[in-house]
Amino acid sequence: MAAGLLAAALALSTVPAWAGKKDDTLRMAYDQAPESVDPYFNNVRIGVIIAANVWDTLLYRDPLTNEYKGQLAESWKQIDDKTIEFELRKGIKFHNGEPFDADSVVYTLTFVSDPKNKATTQQNVRWIERVEKIDPYKVRIVTKEPFPAAKEYLSTTVAIHPARYYKEVGPSGMNAKPVGTGPYKVVDYQPGKSITLERNADYFKASPKTQPRIGKVVIRFIPDRQTQMAEVISGQEDLIMHVPKDQAEQLASMPNLQVVSGNTMRIVFMQMNILPNTPAPQLKDERVRKAIAHAIDRDAIVKNIVGGDARILNTICTPSQVGCTDKGATVYNYDPALSKKLLAEAGYPNGFDIDIVAYRERNQTEAIINYLRAVGIRAKLNFLQYAAMRDMIRAGKAALTHQTWGSNLVNDVSASTPVYFAFGSDDVTHDAKVKELLDLGDRTIDSAKRNEAYRQALDLIAQHAYAVPLWSLPVYYVASNEVSFRPYPDELLRFWEMSWK
């Protein structure tokens, strides 16, 4: 593998390297392209990264202390169990010159929280009942039910758009020509190819985000991993991420590069479609689902393929999230003999054929497939871009899915488990009792009762093997030695903090 990487680098050696601090432009490659740059119509990680750098939120959560700070809001107070009032900052302008005010907040949140507008990340705003303008710089957000995680969402994923511009152009126009208030502004966007961000020289000084240091950031969407690595080796890219463990370890020996890794909030799991229209009726049998869980040697995959400080999961949530627990949950240890026995009891002594859909970490998917085949489950890989995979799941056309979820930065169970088990568009299980418990957890103010509701829901999911929890996903970053940056557990690249050495 190392020889292949070096050969690729030599093949590009006649091309002059142009990445680096010489022209104050950070160049990055990423394997997935966002379906939209509007943060409410995207949930691919690179879109989340772009959103955090181009837009601001009312609040800001410090990634190290988890403290909430005012961002577009100067201050806030809880009026009652369902109402938060915000005093907004004055003098802030969007990248197009439109002033930020209460109208920006009211229009944005009213529009995206309306289900008829079909926001892709509906789960991030579905809790909003209404937004009220008190005066030009004061608003109130009223939730449908008591929602203790409100500040978590308002500090991470709920970006604010310019009211007049958004009303005029809508999500498609916001995607074509994005406009935020953030530390970087979009100066060029070629859908599916690249996006160029430029430092916002007028970024407001009171923001808890630092003033951006690097002048430009160019992100190219390059699906082929080998091409990405060849370009970072030859100096045409400054930064790539999600590099497989073995390749990252080899790149670490190159003097012009640095390799940094860290565990993240992202969880890896397998969805199993048991709805009436599932393309794999075998999955409706609980014994088959348990057989799949017992067939996979999670410890071996983590040790040999995932690497880093990945953690084995036994429930479908991020361990750091409020409300996440695996206490008392059923654990499915690697046991291929038991897996075969369960398949035989379910009427499949010779196994069966099934498709598995995935969109990233292909080497992990292939390892899972090998383990499934060893017990007679002949899985065939369908590897897609995220949006295509998601659309297959929502259309009921995906049977088995190798899935990951980063919770859109939100460190609360409401942003993970309910997305896949509360009857939303990504739920392929539809257990009414699980939904009832998750809904109870979402709206319960008392923390002990809230945690208990989530625990019971997670226990039911594990007990019936509705999904296969696998591991947390560490990220390996490979960057030029000229770049100074820090990885965070939320998997967010804060370009505004980066600088040249």
Domain interval for residue 449: 264-475
344's CB contacts (< 8 A; 6+ apart) are: none
Q: Is residue 461 part of a domain?
A: yes
- CATH number of the domain within which 281 lies: 3.10.105.10
Average pLDDT of the chain, as a whole number: 94
Instruction: Answer yes or no: do 221 and 287 share one domain.
Output: no
Instruction: Answer yes or no: do 181 and 44 share one domain.
Output: yes
Instruction: Answer yes or no: do 156 and 276 share one domain.
Output: no
Instruction: Answer yes or no: do 64 and 150 share one domain.
Output: yes
Count of structural domains, the chain: 2
Instruction: Answer yes or no: do 222 and 281 share one domain.
Output: no
pLDDT tier, 19 (very low <50, low <70, confident <90, very high otherwise): low
212 SS3 class: coil
Instruction: Answer yes or no: do 172 and 225 share one domain.
Output: yes
Extract the tokens encoding 387: 């949006």
Q: Residues 410-444: pLDDT tens digits?
A: 999 999 999 999 999 999 999 999 999 999 999 99
Question: Rounded to whole angstroms, what are the CA distances from 342 to 254, 270, 290, 374?
Answer: 48, 19, 8, 14
H-only helix segments in 404-482: 417-421, 432-443, 447-463
Instruction: Answer yes or no: do 130 and 217 share one domain.
Output: yes
Q: Residues 324-363: pLDDT tens digits?
A: 999 999 999 999 999 999 999 999 999 999 999 999 999 9
Instruction: Answer yes or no: do 310 and 217 share one domain.
Output: no
Instruction: Answer yes or no: do 38 and 178 share one domain.
Output: yes
Q: Is residue 395 part of a domain?
A: yes
Please give the Cα distance from 498 to 211 (Å, whole number): 10
Q: Is residue 5 part of a domain?
A: no
- CATH number of the domain within which 167 lies: 3.40.190.10
Asked if residue 27 lies in contact with residue 239, where contact means CB atoms within 8 angstroms, the answer is yes
Paired strand residues for 27: 218
pLDDT tier, 3 (very low <50, low <70, confident <90, very high otherwise): very low
- The percent of residues above 70 in pLDDT, for the chain, comes to 96
pLDDT tier, 10 (very low <50, low <70, confident <90, very high otherwise): very low
Q: Residues 441-463: pLDDT tens digits?
A: 999 999 999 999 999 999 999 99
Instruction: Answer yes or no: do 217 and 331 share one domain.
Output: no
Instruction: Answer yes or no: do 337 and 291 share one domain.
Output: yes
